[in-house]
Amino acid sequence: MILIAGVGFMTDSYDIFAINLSMNMLQYVYWNGTIPDSTTTLIKVSTSVGTVIGQISFGSIADKVGRKKIYGLELIIMIFATLFQCTLGTSPAINFVAIFSTIRILMGIGIGGDYPLSSIISSEFSTTKWRGAIMAAVFSNQGLGQVFAGIVAMICVAGYKDDLIIANKGSECVGRCRKAADQMWRIIVGFGCVPGCIALYYRLTIAESPRYALDVDEHDDLEKVADAEAAIDVHAQEIAPPKASFKDFCSHFGQWRYGKILLGTAGSWFMLDVAYYGLGLNTTTILQTIGYAGQSNVYEKLYNSAAGNLILVCAGSLPGYWVSAATIDTVGRKPIQMGGFILLTIILCIMGFGYHKIGNHGLLGLFVIAQFFQNFGPNTTTFIVPGECFPTRYRSTAHGLSAAAGKVGAIIAQTCIGTLVNHGCSKENKNCFLPHVLEIFALFMLLGIGLTFLIPETARRTLEEISETCHGEVDTTKLGRDRFATQEEPYDSEEVKN
């Protein structure tokens, strides 16, 4: 299960973060080394837009038709969209940016579908004791996807060194240099298909989630039995949850005691992703600011950018994922999320308000620590908790809505806040507004602390216990026991008559 769902997440993460590295190469192919900020924003945000669509649509569909029937479809969408990107070219009849962004929206739909499906399937297939660790292990493949993207980029740049090193600046990257850059970004993006193709067969052949089969399919069967056996009709209606519908969804979550949980999961994810994607997709900007991405030619610029991204992931992000997986079932989800938000608030305040005092090395160290506590913190828990704290009939829908709220935060970070980095800056003093952007991110982390109070602790509790405690629903295994008992009753009554 970890491999089937995890490889998909590796593909998701690779596709999302590979574009950050590929943009450094695309600028030499189409914009002579300087890509407009509006174009960069459009290409990066297009994936998040598609992801929102995929999370909401696949999340709701999975609750209607089951997990098995659509698990794998989202991966097929990602694979074909990735291949289309690699083969895209220019012509007088098309606009490269428009078509490229449209394809990335399509890819985002596939990526979005994977969020609720992988989380829910991992949750519903897992034992109570190791459920958190398994879900965290699945999610940690996001870090491996980032590492994979960095390694592929470094190999590509090293392989084309002779073609790139001849150009000292973007305007000089012509002929061999431009051809090399064009081939490199296609290779980097295209490699995202590899883990997806490996996982596709196993996703298409996976069994239906046992919890969904019990809570939904068995509930449908129970209603048929209830029609035939009047003795259990009333009792079944008393303990069986209502069938999933839009009206029932609004009625259920319209009550504050239930709706506050959805607000807590969606709101926490939104607050986190404002900072997570605002910093993550602009890692190159951070590296340039702290002096790591200094270069004397195109080759060094591209190589340092890829190496710097890889260093940051290995130093901060990857250990954070692993520590979360190791501790989440003992420490608990809520303490990890709360502690992460608190520490991120402090770190981002120090980075923002003390930006010009802590120096480049201090800034780099704090950035790595922030990456660690994002993943040993709310980035992991916002993925896990929505997969546990909702009733089965709405678990995928609610997870999709929570994840979509996060991606809306990512869109806001890129379109509204991220573009402020260069606000009022001169050509000699780029990124002058970055300290204030970090302060804004700290504010969102502070709001995340308050929203964390709304979510329940789900560690060491079965999904049925959580549904009963948090949503007032009876353990659905009772339905099966009641049906078995009542089916035996007519036989016993006949024995008495005889």
> Please, which pLDDT band fits residue 217 given cuts at 50, 70 and 90?
low
pLDDT band at 268 (very low <50, low <70, confident <90, very high): very high
Task: Indicate if the pLDDT at residue 237 is higher than 60.
Answer: no
Which pLDDT tens digit goes with each residue over 326-366? Answer: 999 999 999 999 999 999 999 999 989 998 888 878 888 88
User: Burial level of 326, CB count in 10 A (0-12/13-18/19+)?
Assistant: middle
Per domain, the residue ranges of the chain are 2-481
Q: Name the band, by pLDDT with cuts 50, 70 and 90, for residue 210.
A: confident
pTM above 0.85, yes or no: yes
176-185, 353-362, 380-389: which range is least confident on average? 353-362
pLDDT at 209: 74
In the structure, what pLDDT confidence band is assigned to residue 491 with cuts at 50, 70 and 90? very low
pLDDT at 35 over 50: yes
Mean pLDDT highest for which of 141-155, 224-238, 471-485?
141-155
129 Cβ neighbours under 8 A, 6+ residues apart: 329, 460
Domain 2-481, classified CATH 3.40.50.300, yes or no: no
Over residues 367-381, the mean pLDDT reads 94
Average pLDDT over residues 201-205: 84
Return the minimum-mean-pLDDT range out of 54-68, 140-154, 256-270, 354-368.
354-368
If we measure between CA atoms, which residue out of 473, 471, 461, 392 comes closest to residue 127?
461
Q: What does the pLDDT average to over 453-477?
A: 85
Cα-based angle 128, 133, 135 (whole degrees, multiple of 5): 90
pLDDT of residue 284: 61
Average pLDDT along the chain? 84
- pLDDT above 60: residue 115: yes
pLDDT of amino acid 239: 56
Q: What percent of the chain has pLDDT over 90?
A: 44
pLDDT per residue as tens digits for the range 312-324: 889 889 999 999 9
Asked whether 393 and 243 are in contact (CB, 8 A), the reply is yes
Q: What mean pLDDT is predicted for residues 287-301?
A: 73
Residues 469-485: pLDDT tens digits? 888 876 655 555 554 45
Higher pLDDT residue, 107 or 420?
107
Res 487 pLDDT > 90: no
- The first and second tokens of residue 144, run together, are 């491996």
What average pLDDT does this structure show over 385-403?
Answer: 94
Q: How far is 350 from 344, CA to CA, in rounded Å?
A: 10
Contact between 279 and 286 (Cβ < 8 Å): yes
Query: HSE on the CB side for 453, CA within 13 Å?
Result: 5
pLDDT at 486: 47
Report pLDDT for 493: 44
